[in-house]
Every structure is written in structure tokens, then in C-alpha cells.
Chain A
Amino acid sequence: MSGRPSNRQHLVRMAGLFAVGISAFFVLRWLMVPDGFGLYGHYRAGALDEARARPVLYAGQAACADCHGDVVAARAGSRHARIGCEACHGPLYAHVQAGGEKKPARPDSRALCARCHETSPWKPKAYPQVVVAEHSPAGPCLACHKPHAPKMS
């Protein structure tokens, strides 16, 4: 065993080097790459669940219709029939979860109606618009119009 090493020794040394290199690779990879990375693509798969975990605030029309069938019926056929309840009444998931408690505040009709119906050249021509200051200088819109079926008979 003097001078140059035997063939066997060459192999053992090299196998050792490989083993060290490969284990270092796996240890580093385990330390640095988060769980689920690369499962669907070049990103952490868990991020999808995190995006889903955000709480819902707007309950959706179906949840409103579950309890408020009378309002759905009142709106049927009117110009406002297809507007989501939460478009005017605000986010109501908490109200649904509380079984009808946590009632929303009644919307301020004058500000709310004007937001959609104040005249503006940017709005589509066929869309019903009024100059609120001329149409009704004072008083709530609700004095004449029913918001769930706004056309006056």
C-alpha cells in the first residue's frame, strides 16, 4: 500500500464524495424549499389554500333569497329585479351567519339613488337618469319610489 492507491481505493473515495455531495444536496433542498413547492408548478401549492382561506363578507344573492322571499317576490318583474341585494345593502355574510341578527343599516336613499341615477354623459344613453337637484330638490327618494320596484304606478 505504498505509492499510488489501488483501484478499489479510488472507487471508495469517489463513492464517498458522491455520497457527501448528494446528501448535502438533499439537506439543503429540504432546508430551503418549502412544502408543496413544485407540486403544480413553480410555486408553493399551499398558497392556493391560503388564498382560499380569506373570510367571505358578501354572502351572495342565493343566501339573501333563502330568507327574504317576500322581497324577491316584490322585485320580480321590476327594473331592479336583477340587482344583488348587497349592491345597496352592503356586505351581509355576518348577518347570514348570525341567523338574521346584525341587521344592516337602512341605506341613505338620496345618496344611494343618485350614485346610479344622476345624469352623466358617461352613462349609457338608454340608462334611466335624472338631474337629482331638479327632479327632487329635497326629501328622500323613498317618498315616491319603492326601491325594490321603483316604477311609480
Chain B
Amino acid sequence: MNPERREFLLSTGKLLVLSATASMAWEAMVAGQPETAPNYTMTDHWWGMVVDIEACIGCGNCVRACKEENDVPRLPQYFRTWVERYRVKPDDLEHPVVDSPNGGYDGFPAQEKVDPDAKHYFVPKLCNHCAHSPCVQVCPVGATFESPDGVVLVDQSYCLGCRYCVQACPYGTRFIDPRTETVDKCTLCYHRITKGLTTACCETCPTGARQLGDLKDKKDPIHQFLREHHVLVLKPQMATGSKVYYNGMDGSVR
């Protein structure tokens, strides 16, 4: 090939690629800011939650309030949040006896099986709103994502219902809504927290066992709680960057 011609082709090619990129950037700019909620700037927040196992009484208020607020199917296999009941032999952390009748929706009526040697506690579960979510990484179409304020959300109109994310979530927090055949999960009550309210589960928790926290807000009491307690996240070995911090949890919880 003639050297001059090659140079010409190269520079024309570069110019074309550059202008294509520039036009894409321009398109993104003119698309406008979708942030319409007044007084709420996404980049000022980074949401997380504290769950205090030592305070949870298993009343099930959170489960009922969540289903009510978020219109979750009232069937025993669909939950955005649920409460598990652990019975652990102190010398055998690897084999806890765990159950969750109807996810704790009906509370936990008095139970006959009491083992005086075992320790007993409730563990409320929900989406951990991971900063590096496995579910987001596997979504083939960008229908689930980490929002700029640290909430993992689902784009219902974009979800194919392929169930990859349901399998990828190490915490089992996702389900396919039978009415839409798309995936659903805890949104950390995104419609509430962006209006200055707390989540439905925190609003109705009678003992303060669940507390929403804004990790970017220096005045939020969550910082004091995290300083003063030895908290853990679920499955830290998976490096999900979970932002639901459990106080009073031991190695039997997974």
C-alpha cells in the first residue's frame, strides 16, 4: 500500500472514531438529568443498614410492613425481607437448626421445642445492598444495578426474567414475581428514603433492631453504632461489599 494512502486512511479512521465517541457523549449530555426528586442529591448519600440481632424479638412487623408497603405477593415463598430463627449448640456452630415459618410473617408463636443447652436468636434478612454485587455483575442486559447512592435496584421494564441474578445472589434475597415474571427484591424502600422517610421495616420495628443509615452523612447515628459494636456482614469471604451490618452475629449465621 502506498504510504501516503495508509496514513490518510489511518487519520480518517481516527477522526471518524473520535467523532462517533464525541456524538455519543453529546447524546448522554443532552439526555438531561433524570434526578427529579427535589432536595435529594444521589451523590450525597450512601445507604446501608444495621441489624441488631441482640434486639430482634421476631415479631414479624418488618416482614408484614415490607409486604404491605412494596406489594410483595402474600405467598410464603416471596419475601423482600424475612426473619430466620436459629437454634445453635454452642459447641457446634456449623450445624445450626434454622427455620423461618412463612418468613416470620405471622410472627413466631410459642414453640414447644426448647433446648436449654442451645442458644437461640432471630436473624432478619434482606438484600445486603452490596457495593460490588454479584447479581449486578451477572445481569446480561443491565436491568439490575447499583445506584449512585448505594442501593441495588431492578429495572422492571428491562428485566428479561432470566434468573441469573437469582442464582448469583449469595444471600438468596431475589425472587421472580409470578405476576410479572421479572425479578424483584428489596429496594431499601427507595421511594421512601429519597423522600426523607425511613424504610417500612425500620419504621415498624418496635425494638430498633433495624436501623437505616446513611454512611455518607457524618451525623447519622449509624456511625456511632458501628464504632461501638463489633459488627459483621454476611459471607464476608465473598467480598460483596455488603452494607447490612449485623451486631451480635456468630459464625453459625450464613
Judge: A and B partners, yes or no: yes
A61 on the interface (CB 8 Å rule)? yes
Q: How far is the CA of A22 from the CA of B192 in the complex (A)?
A: 44
Residues in chain A near residue B23, CB distance under 8 A: 26
Size bracket of the A interface: 35 or more
- Is B153 a contact partner of A51 (Cβ separation < 8 A)? yes
Interface string of B140-177 (1 = CB under 8 A from A): 00111111100001111110000000000000000000
Partner of B121, one of A45, A54, A58, A122: A122
Known: A56-B195, A57-B69, A87-B205. A25 touches B158 (CB 8 A): no
B213 on the interface (CB 8 Å rule)? no
* Chain B proximity of A102: nearest CB distance (Å): 15
Interface string of A112-144 (1 = CB under 8 A from B): 000110111111100100010000000000000
A interface SS class:
loop
B241 on the interface (CB 8 Å rule)? no
Partner of B54, one of A43, A45, A53, A124: A124
Known: A38-B28, A46-B34, A58-B204. A122 touches B146 (CB 8 A): no
Size bracket of the B interface: 35 or more
* Chain B proximity of A135: nearest CB distance (Å): 12
* Chain A proximity of B138: nearest CB distance (Å): 12
* Chain A proximity of B191: nearest CB distance (Å): 4
Residues in chain B near residue A34, CB distance under 8 A: 158
Partner of B206, one of A25, A43, A46, A87: A87
Minimum CB distance partner of B69 in chain A: A57
B253 on the interface (CB 8 Å rule)? no
* Chain A proximity of B84: nearest CB distance (Å): 10
Residues in chain A near residue B207, CB distance under 8 A: 127
Residues in chain B near residue A84, CB distance under 8 A: 203-206
A49 on the interface (CB 8 Å rule)? yes
Partner of B68, one of A35, A49, A91, A119: A91
Taking Cβ atoms with an 8 Å cutoff, the residues of A that contact B are 7, 14, 18, 22, 25-26, 34-58, 60-61, 82-84, 86-87, 90-91, 115-116, 118-124, 127, 131
